[in-house]
Amino acid sequence: MYLPRSLIGHLYTHLLHTTHPLSSPALLLVSLEPDALCACRILTALLKRDYIPHKIQPISGYNDLARAGQELVRPMRTTDGGSGGAVICLGVGGLVDLENLLGLEEEDGGASYGGVEIWVMDARRPWNLSNVFGGRGDALPEENDLPTRIPGVDRGKLSRMYRPGKGGIVVFDDGDVDEEMEREREAYCALEQMPELGDDDLEDESDLDEDAAEDEAPTSGQAGRKRKAWDDEEEDTEDESRPAQRRRGNSSSPIPSSPSRPPRRGLAILGHSSDFSRSDSIDRSSPPIQVAVQPSAKKLRRQLLKLRAQHNKVLENYYSLGTSYSEPISSIAYSLASELGREDNDLLWQAIVGVSSLELYGRTPTGLGLSSSPKGWHGSRGDQIRALLQDEVRRLNPLDLKDMTREANLGESGGVIPTHARSPTDNSIRLSPEPRFLLIRHWSLYDSMLHSPYLCAKLRIWTDVGRRRLHKLLAKMGVSLSQCKQNYTHMDMDLKRNLREKLLQFAPVYGLDGLVPGATNKGAGKEGWGFVRCWGWKACLSAIDVGVILGAILEVGSSISNTSGSSSPPLPPTPRSLDSQSNINSSDQSKNDEEAAQDAITSRFWLAYDALTSPNLLTQHVSIAQHLHRAILRTGTALIAKQQLRHLRAFRMTIVKDGPDVPLFAHPGALVKLALWLQEAVQEMEGKRGKSSGSELVIAGLDEPRGVYVVVGLGGGGTTVQSKEKEKRRVEKQKQKIEKREARRLEKAASKQREVERRLANGEDVDEDDEDVDTEEDDSSDSESEDEVEEDDQRKGARRNRFGIAFQEVIEETGARVKVDSFDHCVVEVRKEDLSGFLEQLSLKAIVG
C-alpha cells in the first residue's frame, strides 16, 4: 500500500492517538548514510515531543535487515506474543519484498503481520511493487482466492477512511506513484485479481510468448494452420483434449491454436428450440438472424493468458529501467513535521544537511553517478526542493533591519562567505554564496580548491600544467601563495570580502562558470546559494561541510589510526557469496568477527548520530574528512598518471589494489566518492577531445583481510556504438513485423469476408468464428500498444544506472562468488579469485541503451 503525499501525517496522527504507556516502542531501521541519519533525527525529535517510546537499529545491508526481522520485528507480532506496533524503515528495503525479507510470510504463501505496520521511506527506485500496491495486513484470501476489499484502500492507495492498526506495509509516496506509475498500478492490480493458473495454463502461456516472439512465417515454408471445417468437429474435439501437443507441433503458426467449435447451445429465438432443421427454421427471403453467441471457454482462457502476458510485460519493463533516486527521505520527514506543525530550526537544518549530502554520493535521478542535467543535482526537482528550503530559512530566520540595510548597500558586490556568528547566542541558518570548494572554513583556500572534485577536474590538477593553472588563477585574483596557504579564517579581511567578486571575474577565463553562484539580481534571486548555520562562537558550518564530515565518520571511523587496517570490519560470510572451503574454520572465530563487525557499525552510527547535533563533535572530526579527501586526490592522481583507467566495450574500468590508501576504499561509500572524482575527471578529458560518448565506470577496491573486492558500477546510460546498432536493429525488426502482421490481417479479412458472403448466399448461419477478424485487429492494436509502452519505458529509463541488472546476469552466467548485500544494487563484493572472470563477462554486457 502507499500513502499519498497529501496524507503524509495520517499514520503518525493515528500512532499518536493510540499510543499508551504499555505500547511496544516504535522500531526505526536506519541505513548507514547521512540522508537516512538526518531523517532519523527528525522522526526521533517528533517521537520524543509526543512521548512515543521508540528504539533505533542501524542497518548495514540486507543480511543485517533479515537478522533484524527475525530478532526484532517478528517478536512484535501478536501471533508471537507481542502487541504489534510500527516499524519505520529509513532508506531500507524499498527495492525488495519486505514480507519475505523480514520473515513475515507463512507456509501457505500469505503474510502474517500480527498488527505490525511497516512504514517505508526510501529514495531508491524502482520500488518493489509488492510493497507499493500489496502488503495488506488484513487482506486474507476468501474461498474464491481473491483478496478482500479493505475500507480506505483503493488499488493500493490509502485514503482518509483507512484505519491503521491491523498491520501491513505502507510506502510513503513522494508524488512519483500518483504521477508516474498509473500504468504499473493498473497492471499489478489486474494481475492480483486474476485467478491462479494451472500447469496447462502456464504451458499455454509459454506457447503464447513463443508465438509473440517469433510472429513470422514458418521457416519450413508451410502455410499456417487453417481453421477447421465444421465437418471436422469430432477431430477438433479430440484435439481439444490434448491442446499442449497440438500447440507444440504448430508453434511457428501466427495463430497458436484454432478455437474449437463448442457443442451446439440451446437457442431460444423466436420461440424455436435448438433441434429445428435448417430448411424449416430459415426463411431465405428474410434477412439472416443475428445470433449473439458467447465466446467459448477456450477463447476466454486465451484472452486471459494474453492479458496476463501484457500486464507482466508492463511490470518487467518497469523493473528493467535501472536504478535511480527520487526525493531525499530527510525532505519527506521534514514535510511530515511541517504537516504536524512541529517545524523549527533544528529540524530544518537536519533536512538541509540530508538533502545536501545526496550530491556528495552521486544520488541523481539517473542512478548512482554524475548528474546529466544541466541544472546540476536532481535537475528541476532539486531546484524546487532547494527553493522550498530557502523559503523555510527566510520564514524561520528573519533578518534584522540593519542586516537588510547592509545587504542592500552591498548589492551585487556582496555575498561574503560567513565564517562566524553575529552574536554569542546566534543559532540562525543563513543563505551563503558557497563556492564549489571543500571544507573552506576548516582548510586553507589553496587546499580547499585543490581537493575540490569540480575544480580538480576542470583544471586537471593531477598534472603539472593543472597546478600551474591553479597558481595563475590565484595570481590573477591578487592572492599570493603565502596568503592562500593560511587557514581561511586567518586570511586578510579584504581578500575574503572580494573573493566572490574576483572569482566571478576570472573563473570564466578557465572554464569555471559554475564555481560560485551568479549575481543575486539585487537580492531577489539566490537560487544557487548554499546554507550555513552558526552555533554562537562555537562553530560556523555549511550544510555541505556537515555532510562531508558525517560521511567520513561513517566510512573511516573516529580516528585516522583505524585506517591502518581494513576500514570496514569483516562481515559474516553468507552461503551465496563465499565458498565453503574459504569460510572461517572456527565457528567461534566467525561469531567473534560478526560481533566485532556489528559493534563497529553501531559505534560509527551513534557517533555520527550524536555529531549531527553537536558542533564540537563535528569540528573534532574535520581531520578525518580531510584525510579521506587527501587519499582520494592521491589515489585518483596515481590511477590517471599510471594509465590504469582501461576503456572496455561499454564502460571504463580500474582497480585500486596498490598504495597506502587502499584500506580506506574497502568501504563502499569511500569507493563511490573516488569513483565520482574519477568520473568527473574522465568526462572533462574526453569532453576536451570531443569523445564524450558516455562515462560509465566500474571500479574495484581490494579488501585484503577479507579476500574480496568491493565493486561499484557508476554512471547512467550514455550512448554507445553497441546500443545504437541494437536500437537500429530493433526498429527494423519492428517495422518488418508490423508489415507482415498487416498483410496477414488484410488477407484473412478478405478470405473471411468471402466465406461470410458464401454462407449468407447459401442460407447458412454465421457462427462465432466470424469474430476472429476483429480479434486479429485487436491483437494487432494490442501488439502495437505494447510496442508503444516499451518505447515509452525506454525513454523513461534513458540514462539510468543498469549495473545492478548487469551484475545479476553475470552472477547467474558465471557462478562467481559474489555477495549482493548493499541497498545500492550497483555495489557488490566479489571474491579475489573470481574478479577477472567477473569483469570479463561484464565487459560483454550492454550496460546502457
Percent of the chain with pLDDT over 90: 42
pLDDT at 303: 87
Name the burial class of residue 846, with classes exposed (0-12), middle (13-18) and buried (19+) by CB atoms within 10 angstroms of its CB: middle
Whether 742 has a pLDDT exceeding 50, the answer reads yes
- For 429, phi then psi, to 5°, come to -105, 135
Once rounded to an integer, what is the mean pLDDT over residues 65-94? 92
Once rounded to an integer, what is the mean pLDDT over residues 618-636? 94
pLDDT at 200: 60
Name the one residue in this structure whose C-alpha cell is 518493489. 128
- C-alpha span between 159 and 153 (Å, rounded): 6
Check residue 539 and report its DSSP letter: -
Name the one residue in this structure whose C-alpha cell is 485487436. 778
pLDDT at 826: 92
**Could you tell me what percentage of the chain is helix, strand and coil, using 3-state DSSP and rounding each to the nearest 5?**
50, 10, 35
Whether 382 has a pLDDT exceeding 90, the answer reads no
pLDDT at 376: 53
Whether 95 has a pLDDT exceeding 70, the answer reads yes
Query: Which range has the worst mean pLDDT, 210-214, 280-284, 481-485, 829-833?
Result: 280-284
Strands, E assignment, 41-105: 54-59, 85-90
β-strand pairing of 153-154 with 116-121: unpaired
Whether 695 has a pLDDT exceeding 90, the answer reads no
Asked if residue 141 has a cis previous peptide bond (ω within 30° of 0), the answer is no
Q: Which residue has the higher pLDDT, 441 or 106?
A: 441
Check residue 72 and report its DSSP letter: I
pLDDT at 280: 43
- The grid coordinates listed for 620 are 573534532
Q: Which residue has the higher pLDDT, 467 or 598?
A: 467
Q: What is the mean pLDDT of the chain?
A: 78
Helix 587-611 × helix 34-49 angle, to 10°:
70
> How far apart, in Å, do the first and last CA atoms of the chain sit?
32
Question: What is the four-CA torsion angle of 271, 273, 279, 281, rounded to 10 degrees?
Answer: 20
Q: Which residue has the higher pLDDT, 67 or 846?
A: 67
Q: Which residue has the higher pLDDT, 251 or 338?
A: 338
pLDDT at 214: 46
Rg (CA), the chain: 32
User: Predicted confidence band at 404 (pLDDT cuts at 50, 70, 90)?
Assistant: low
- Give the chain's length: 849
Query: Which range has the worst mean pLDDT, 261-265, 693-697, 771-775?
Result: 261-265
Secondary structure element (H or E) that encloses residue 681, with its range: helix 668-689
Whether 521 has a pLDDT exceeding 60, the answer reads no
Collect all residues with Cβ–Cβ distance below 8 Å to 295 and sequence separation of at least 6. 303, 768, 771
pLDDT at 686: 78
pLDDT at 751: 82
- The grid coordinates listed for 277 are 432443421
The counts of H helices and E strands in the chain are 31, 21
CATH number of 2-194: 3.40.50.2300
Query: Which range has the worst mean pLDDT, 22-36, 252-266, 367-381, 420-434?
Result: 252-266
Query: Which range has the worst mean pLDDT, 96-105, 572-581, 636-645, 789-798?
Result: 572-581
Whether 345 has a pLDDT exceeding 50, the answer reads yes
pLDDT at 277: 39
Dump pLDDT digits (tens) for 307-321.
999 999 999 999 988
Whether 722 has a pLDDT exceeding 50, the answer reads no
At position 156, the amino acid (one-letter code) is: G
pTM over 0.75: yes
CA-closest candidate to residue 164, choices 333, 44, 9: 9
pLDDT at 417: 87
Name the one residue in this structure whose C-alpha cell is 551568479. 518
Query: Which range has the worst mean pLDDT, 28-37, 468-477, 612-621, 746-755?
Result: 746-755
CA-closest candidate to residue 771, choices 76, 396, 227, 203: 227
Q: Which of 97-111, 234-248, 342-356 has the highest mean pLDDT?
A: 342-356
Dump pLDDT digits (tens) for 290-311.
555 677 788 888 888 889 999 9
Long-range contacts of 106-113 (CB under 8 A, 24+ apart): 110/140, 110/141, 111/135, 111/137, 112/77, 112/79, 113/77, 113/137, 113/166, 113/167, 113/168
Task: Check: CB of residue 175 under 8 Å from CB of residue 141.
Answer: no
Secondary structure element (H or E) that encloses residue 7, with its range: none
CA-closest candidate to residue 821, choices 563, 604, 572, 596: 572
pLDDT at 281: 40
Task: Check: CB of residue 657 under 8 Å from CB of residue 638.
Answer: no
Q: Which of 255-264, 268-277, 720-729 has the highest mean pLDDT?
A: 720-729
Report CA torsion sign: 38, 43, 44, 50.
positive
Task: Check: CB of residue 639 under 8 Å from CB of residue 645.
Answer: yes
CA distances from 70 to 75, 76, 118, 439 (A): 8, 10, 14, 42
Dump pLDDT digits (tens) for 640-659.
999 999 888 778 899 999 88
CA-closest candidate to residue 635, choices 673, 599, 602: 673
The per-residue b/e assignment along 120-130, b for 16 or more CB within 10 angstroms, e otherwise, is bbbbbbbbbbb
Whether 166 has a pLDDT exceeding 50, the answer reads yes
Name the burial class of residue 759, with classes exposed (0-12), middle (13-18) and buried (19+) by CB atoms within 10 angstroms of its CB: middle
- For 272, phi then psi, to 5°, come to -90, 150
Whether 475 has a pLDDT exceeding 70, the answer reads yes
Once rounded to an integer, what is the mean pLDDT over residues 333-354? 95
- The grid coordinates listed for 386 are 532547494
Check residue 184 and report its DSSP letter: H
Collect all residues with Cβ–Cβ distance below 8 Å to 111 and sequence separation of at least 6. 99, 104, 105, 135, 137
Strands, E assignment, 618-772: 646-647, 652-656, 697-703, 708-714
Collect all residues with Cβ–Cβ distance below 8 Å to 157 and sequence separation of at least 6. 1, 2, 4, 177, 178, 185
CA-closest candidate to residue 366, choices 379, 354, 375: 379
- C-alpha span between 730 and 734 (Å, rounded): 6
pLDDT at 526: 75
pLDDT at 243: 38
- 393: how many CB neighbours lie within 10 A of its CB? 22
- 578: how many CB neighbours lie within 10 A of its CB? 20
Percent of the chain with pLDDT over 70: 71
Whether 288 has a pLDDT exceeding 60, the answer reads no
Collect all residues with Cβ–Cβ distance below 8 Å to 161 and sequence separation of at least 6. 151, 152
Query: Which range has the worst mean pLDDT, 89-98, 355-364, 784-793, 806-815?
Result: 784-793
Cα 817 off chain centre by: 25
CA distances from 227 to 303, 744, 770 (A): 18, 14, 11
Q: Which of 108-122, 488-502, 545-559 has the highest mean pLDDT?
A: 545-559
User: Predicted confidence band at 204 (pLDDT cuts at 50, 70, 90)?
Assistant: low
pLDDT at 108: 63
Dump pLDDT digits (tens) for 431-446.
988 899 999 999 999 9
pLDDT at 464: 92
Whether 580 has a pLDDT exceeding 80, the answer reads no
| Cα atoms found within 13 Å of the Cα of residue 32, Cβ hemisphere only | 30
The secondary structure of 594-619 as a DSSP string is HHHHHHHHHHHHHHHHHHTT-HHHHH
Task: Check: CB of residue 266 under 8 Å from CB of residue 274.
Answer: yes
pLDDT at 689: 45
Q: Which of 331-340, 420-429, 802-811 has the highest mean pLDDT?
A: 331-340
CA distances from 543 to 90, 401, 713 (A): 20, 26, 27
User: Predicted confidence band at 761 (pLDDT cuts at 50, 70, 90)?
Assistant: confident
Collect all residues with Cβ–Cβ distance below 8 Å to 367 and sequence separation of at least 6. 322, 323, 324, 325, 715, 716, 800, 801, 802, 826
